[in-house]
């Protein structure tokens, strides 16, 4: 079986400083895969590289069998892979609806399809419909992350890549957002999630990879990793296993 996403031997440096060292990982069709690891392990670098925001020094990134390494991000979106970046990066002085339209733009599909897609994400997030004309800057943290997820779904991705969904949000809001991502997955979209809170990542994924200092040090079914306290304490640090509410 060909993986939807197949990352092979990917290395990335910032100037002379290596950030990823020969990373291998896969996401199968229909899977939810998590990447966990300490601050600075290279998680965001990996997601940015997969999404076309950074070009790797070496290695291959196969999406549906095509090597997309070094392909510009808008083209990667058109091919079916969309990133929700860490901190969501909304256009704060634009309305909720305008932010959604920007999520659709790279697909180059007709605007009639854009309006259908807006209806689809408003059905997932009714609160965004109520706030459709409001500036993104006026949204609460939870609403802003809803908009982040909704905007990334506007391109109808085959693979949605999410960096730190829980960042700065109350546990209840995080739980609601993960429930919606579970529905999105059940409807056929594969997910690659990066999460500081290891218990959240393992609870909401089928398989997981542990990154340390730019290398994959461990991988396996999430349930197996979650049930091994030695693994959590040696690779992930005690603090990362705390509940999101402790943040």
Ligand X SMILES: Nc1ncnc2c1ncn2[C@@H]1O[C@H](COP(=O)(O)OP(=O)(O)OP(=O)(O)O)[C@@H](O)[C@H]1O
Q: Which of 166, 207, 189, 158 is nearest to 34 (CA)?
A: 207
Choose, by CB under 6 A, the member of 9, 30, 40, 70 that binds ligand X: 40
Is residue 221 a contact residue for ligand X (CB under 6 A)?
A: no
Is residue 146 a contact residue for ligand X (CB under 6 A)?
A: no
**H-only helix segments in the chain:** 43-50, 73-78, 96-104, 111-124, 126-130, 141-153, 171-186, 198-203, 222-226, 229-231
Q: How many residues does the chain have?
A: 247
Is residue 19 a contact residue for ligand X (CB under 6 A)?
A: yes
Choose, by CB under 6 A, the member of 25, 34, 43, 149 that binds ligand X: 43
Say which entry of ligand X, Mg ion, none residue 14 contacts (CB below 5 to 8 A, set by partner kind): ligand X
SS3 assignment, position 209: strand
Query: Distance between alpha carbon 88 and the CA centroid of its chain, in Å?
Result: 10
Nearer to ligand X, 43 or 158 (CB): 43
Scan residues 184-213 and list those touching ligand X (CB under 6 A): 196
Structure tokens at 142: 């939870």
Nearer to ligand X, 39 or 133 (CB): 39
Contact 54, 78 (CB under 8 A): no
Q: Give me the residues that bind Mg ion (CB under 5 A), please.
A: 43-44, 86
Is residue 69 a contact residue for ligand X (CB under 6 A)?
A: no
Q: What residue ranges bind ligand X (CB under 6 A)? A: 14, 17, 19, 37, 39-45, 86, 196
């Amino acid at each position: 079986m060909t993986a939807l996403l197949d990352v092979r031997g990917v290395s990335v440096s910032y100037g002379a400083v290596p950030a990823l060292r020969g990373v291998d990982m896969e996401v199968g069709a229909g899977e939810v895969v998590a990447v966990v690891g300490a601050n600075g392990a290279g998680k965001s670098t990996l997601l940015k590289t997969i999404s076309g925001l950074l070009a790797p020094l070496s290695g291959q990134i196969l999406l549906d069998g095509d090597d997309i390494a070094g392909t510009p991000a808008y083209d990667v979106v058109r091919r079916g892979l969309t990133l929700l970046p860490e901190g969501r990066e909304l256009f704060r002085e634009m309305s909720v609806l305008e932010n959604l339209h920007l999520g659709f733009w790279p697909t180059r599909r007709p605007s009639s399809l854009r309006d259908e897609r807006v209806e689809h994400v408003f059905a997932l997030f009714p609160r965004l419909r109520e706030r459709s004309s409001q500036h993104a800057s006026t949204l609460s943290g939870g609403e802003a992350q809803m908009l982040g997820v909704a905007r990334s779904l506007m391109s109808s991705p085959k693979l949605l890549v999410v960096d730190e969904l829980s960042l700065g949000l109350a546990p209840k809001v995080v739980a609601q957002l993960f429930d919606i991502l579970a529905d999105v997955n059940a409807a056929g979209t594969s997910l690659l999630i990066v999460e500081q809170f290891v218990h959240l990542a393992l609870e909401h994924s089928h398989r997981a990879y542990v990154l340390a200092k730019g290398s994959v040090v461990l991988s396996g079914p999430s349930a197996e990793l979650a049930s091994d306290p030695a693994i959590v304490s040696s690779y992930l640090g005690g603090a990362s296993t705390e509940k999101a509410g402790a943040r």
